[in-house]
Chain A
């Protein structure tokens, strides 16, 4: 199966590989797995608390070229977006950008799931942090 040039580019030069401090309150972490192929993907975002803008995004994916390219592209798109804009990223956007063939669409779904999981984790942390801050004031 032939990979598109964009997939190959992301696969050979993946952007934003790495990890962020999972324990930090402004870092959201999403780890997701694909039942179809056993791929595992971790995606993290660091959000500026004041602006709600994603300042940093990192990923590490164990899987095929399309899964790596999908998550690499996702981290590129995430930077500079607000949390809510990030949630609006659809797997079909990734499919179109990377020209993924039908058999690799699940890789883009995985990336979308990873974004949602990371944002959810961030929001959960924020929700948990606020009452604690209130408690400190009291």
Chain B
């Protein structure tokens, strides 16, 4: 169960991988390990095919998504880097976060004048998400070429920030009702 997803796909551990070739490789491996092809084989081989198909699906689901992929790489190579679980307030955003919480409170108390403020806060945070994704992309390429701890740590920080902001945007959307 502990088999490395990258090695299962026959590729080097990498953060900036090409989704199209990943998908092609997924189709190849799906055919290779399809349980139907093992129907007449001994039970042990049938089991192996089933296990590999399950592993393949987990691996593909994880590797095709940039954030999931990065979390996976961090879990294997980034020991000691703390997963903020979306709770770490990015220090540079404290003021904006505070203001958004104020607007959320006002809206909850029935003050509709807080709506535009909340909408603009959400727009700002959504724009920030795109910036973070661009930063992540840069750090991904960097890690693939240098594979150092410093870059992984930068990825961890960006992912923590990203999680926090995704939560904020979702909270705002929930409160705004659209």
Residues 111-137 of B contacting A (Cβ, < 8 Å): none
Which B-chain residue is minimally distant from A29 (CB atoms)? B95
Q: Does A40 lie at the interface of the complex (its beta carbon under 8 Å from any beta carbon of B)?
A: yes
Interface residues of B in 84-104 (CB under 8 A from A): 84, 86-89, 91, 94-95, 97-98, 101-102
How far, in whole Å, are A34 and B91 apart by their CA atoms in the complex? 10
Q: A40-B94, A40-B97 are in contact. Are A33 and B89 (CB under 8 A)?
A: yes
Q: Are B89 and A38 in contact (CB under 8 A)?
A: yes
Q: Which residues of A contact B94 (CB under 8 A)?
A: 31-33, 40
Do A37 and B87 have beta carbons less than 8 Å apart?
A: yes
Chain A facing B: main interface SS: strand
A40-B89 CB under 8 A given contacts A31-B95, A31-B98, A62-B101: yes
Complex CA gap A15/B131 in Å reads 40
How many angstroms between the C-alpha atoms of A36 and B84 in the bound complex? 8
**Is A81 at the interface (CB under 8 A from chain B)?**
no
The CA of A37 and the CA of B105, in the complex, are separated in Å by 19
What residues on B are CB-neighbors of A40 within 8 Å? 89, 94, 97-98, 101
Contact A35 B98 (CB under 8 A): no
Q: Could you tell me the distance in whole angstroms from the C-beta of A35 to the nearest C-beta in chain B?
A: 5
Q: Residue A42 at the B interface, CB < 8 A?
A: yes
Cross-chain contact A35 with B95 (CB below 8 angstroms): no
Give the distance in Å from the alpha carbon of A62 to the alpha carbon of B91 in the complex. Answer: 16
Q: Is A60 an interface residue (CB 8 A)?
A: yes
Q: Which residue of chain A is the closest to B105 with respect to CB atoms?
A: A62
Could you say which residues of chain A place their CB within 8 Å of the CB of B101? 40, 62
Separation in Å of the B147 CB from the closest CB of chain A? Answer: 28
Cα distance A26–B94 in the bound complex, in angstroms: 22
- A35 touching B89, Cβ below 8 Å: yes
In the complex, the answer to whether A60 meets B102 with C-beta atoms within 8 Å is yes
Bound complex: CA of A37 vs CA of B85, how far in Å?
Answer: 10
Smallest CB gap from A42: residue in B? B98
- 16 extra interface residue pairs, beta carbon distance < 8 Å, beyond A31-B95, A31-B98, A62-B98: A33-B91, A33-B94, A33-B97, A34-B89, A35-B84, A35-B87, A35-B88, A38-B86, A38-B87, A38-B164, A40-B89, A40-B98, A40-B101, A42-B98, A60-B98, A62-B101
Q: Which 9 A-B pairs rank lowest in CB-CB distance, beginning with the nearest?
A: A33-B89, A38-B87, A62-B101, A35-B88, A31-B94, A40-B98, A33-B94, A31-B98, A42-B98
A-B contact pairs, 19 of them (CB 8 A): A31-B94, A31-B95, A31-B98, A32-B94, A33-B88, A33-B89, A33-B91, A35-B87, A35-B88, A37-B87, A38-B86, A38-B89, A38-B164, A40-B89, A40-B97, A40-B101, A60-B98, A62-B101, A62-B105
